[in-house]
Chains A and B, each alone.
Chain A
Amino acid sequence: MSKYLIDKFLFTVDRDPDLVERYREDPRGTVTWWEAERANSILNCHSGEASTWLKFEDDEREALAAHDYVKLFELGAHPFLTLTLFIAMFERDYDEPLGFQLAYAARLAHFDLPYPDIAT
């Protein structure tokens, strides 16, 4: 039900430079704040419109709070959204070009086809 909300989190954070840094430095606090304050705003509305029912499942909330991109892949988060946001946060920590991307792939090496369904 809430895979959509994982993707919405990744999507909205990735678009905002301040949120990217906030999520890097304080993942659990950012996830808690985002779910309480931002999750249910309906995109493209000027203001004041919100969903009353969307929320994370416990394992989804924990995966986001732990920066656990392996778990996010397993849960079916859209891989493009996960990759771009996590590159933004962690590529800087690697000396070699593509170092983070290659480490990312290695951590997912136990996955085989068919991959988890990414449809929302």
Chain B
Amino acid sequence: MATLAAVIASTHHPFYYKASTAPPEERPPFADEWVAKIMAFRETLTRARPDVLVMVGSDHFHQLWLDNMPQFLIGKAPFYDAGYYNEEREFGLPRMLLRGQEDLSAHMLRGGIDGGFDLAFSNELRIDHSITCPIITLRPEADLPIVPVYTNIFAPPLPQPKRFVQLGRMIRELVESWPSDLRVAVVGTGHLSLELGGPRQFGPHGPDPEFDRKAVEWIASGDIEASLAEVTLDSLWTPGNATHGFMDFMLMMGVAGEGAKADHVDTLDLFHTMEAYFTWYPAGAPE
């Protein structure tokens, strides 16, 4: 069976690419610290020697739209084009071509549906920055095949938080039951407190530092019960109108497991949001 080599959760800040590649005179003052944290974070994936990446993210109304919105969708394609005009326009993000791992996609779709998740699928998914950003930060070679998993975190009605945790647990079961000798890393990105298109956006810090502090503690300690006890679809409006992306962090806590302490925890207090990076090694820390 496949090995779950690493579970990785992070924010997906689209400004990182430009901040880290700009010429010295144009780099923002926080760029060096940000790059150093990302380099350490990247090493946690490199050390796990993954062969395949299962990548959890959220389409930002690029391909998935209100005419036909899936709650949870798995891509099943031999290749995935990535990048959109408005992501180039606003963030300077590069276009990419990522290879797919169709056998694992098929296994996850069959097993997930049989296990109680009525998953949508796509044979021509185009990837956006929730998945390209972690490729840029964690695997800039973009050389590993992927299985994209998209969740709906901002087109109400949304699935309940517990459903994200349950899907995370299911993803772990599906990876570990995949008849393969390959090493799989599950990489997912979400948000801490965040406001977009509202009165609290783009402040000097995230809109709710207290929520961020609690959320980082929940994730770092694997305290799924505490997060589920406090987080609801209604309560997530309070820390910022885009904070429902925290449910993708809850999904990743489900992959890592109840009470699983992260092996790597780091944060960076950037303007308008708190960056956060977590890595677990379910099979033991690599040598």
Q: How far does the alpha carbon of A79 sit from the alpha carbon of B200 in the complex, in Å? A: 12
Q: Are A4 and B197 in contact (CB under 8 A)?
A: no
Chain A nearest CB, measured from B233 CB (Å): 11
Query: Which B residues are in CB contact (< 8 Å) with A43?
Result: 65, 67
Q: How far does the alpha carbon of A120 sit from the alpha carbon of B89 in the complex, in Å? A: 27
Binds B, one of A22-30, A31-39, A56-64, A110-118: A110-118
Option from B86, B89, B156 in Cβ contact (under 8 Å) with A118: B156
The residue among B65, B157, B238, B271 with the most chain A CB atoms within 10 A of its own CB is: B65
Binary CB contact string for chain B from 132 to 161 against chain A (1 if under 8 A, 0 otherwise): 000000000000000000000011110000
Closest residue of A by beta carbon distance from B84: A15
Chain A nearest CB, measured from B221 CB (Å): 29
Name the 8 nearest CB pairs between A and B, nearest first.
Answer: A79-B197, A83-B197, A108-B199, A119-B156, A101-B202, A105-B201, A43-B67, A109-B199
Q: How far does the alpha carbon of A59 sit from the alpha carbon of B208 in the complex, in Å? A: 33
Closest residue of A by beta carbon distance from B68: A44
> B163 contacts the other chain (Cβ, under 8 Å)?
no
What are 22 inter-chain pairs, A to B, with CB distance below 8 A?
Answer: A4-B66, A8-B66, A15-B85, A17-B85, A43-B67, A73-B197, A78-B61, A79-B198, A79-B242, A80-B61, A83-B197, A88-B89, A88-B90, A101-B201, A104-B197, A104-B201, A105-B201, A105-B202, A106-B199, A115-B198, A117-B156, A119-B156
Q: Are A105 and B199 in contact (CB under 8 A)?
A: yes
Query: Which A residues are in CB contact (< 8 Å) with B201?
Result: 83, 101, 104-105
Q: Are B196 and A80 in contact (CB under 8 A)?
A: yes
Option from A81, A102, A104, A110 in Cβ contact (under 8 Å) with B61: A81
Q: Are A115 and B241 in contact (CB under 8 A)?
A: yes
Query: Which B residues are in CB contact (< 8 Å) with A110?
Result: 199
| Chain A residues within 8 Å of chain B by Cβ, number | 37
Q: Are B67 and A44 in contact (CB under 8 A)?
A: yes
Given known A11-B61, A80-B196, A105-B201, contact A113–B86 (CB-CB < 8 A): no
Q: Are B197 and A82 in contact (CB under 8 A)?
A: yes
> A50 contacts the other chain (Cβ, under 8 Å)?
no
Option from B90, B198, B199 in Cβ contact (under 8 Å) with A84: B90
Query: Which B residues are in CB contact (< 8 Å) with A4?
Result: 66
Query: Which B residues are in CB contact (< 8 Å) with A104?
Result: 197, 201
Query: Which B residues are in CB contact (< 8 Å) with A84?
Result: 86, 90
Q: How far does the alpha carbon of A115 sit from the alpha carbon of B240 in the complex, in Å? A: 10
The residue among A84, A101, A110, A111 with the most chain B CB atoms within 10 A of its own CB is: A84
Query: Which A residues are in CB contact (< 8 Å) with B85?
Result: 15, 17
Q: How far does the alpha carbon of A6 sit from the alpha carbon of B21 in the complex, in Å? A: 36
Given known A98-B202, A105-B200, A119-B157, contact A87–B67 (CB-CB < 8 A): no
Question: 5 extra interchain contacts, Cβ-Cβ under 8 A, other than A79-B241, A80-B154?
Answer: A7-B66, A78-B155, A80-B61, A104-B201, A119-B156
Query: Which B residues are in CB contact (< 8 Å) with A109?
Result: 199
> A42 contacts the other chain (Cβ, under 8 Å)?
yes
Option from B60, B66, B68, B197 in Cβ contact (under 8 Å) with A120: B66
Chain A nearest CB, measured from B122 CB (Å): 12
Q: How far does the alpha carbon of A83 sit from the alpha carbon of B202 in the complex, in Å? A: 12
Closest residue of B by beta carbon distance from A8: B66
> B30 contacts the other chain (Cβ, under 8 Å)?
no
Q: How far does the alpha carbon of A102 sit from the alpha carbon of B271 in the complex, in Å? A: 12
Q: How far does the alpha carbon of A47 sit from the alpha carbon of B196 in the complex, in Å? A: 34
Q: How far does the alpha carbon of A69 sit from the alpha carbon of B242 in the complex, in Å? A: 18
Chain A nearest CB, measured from B214 CB (Å): 18
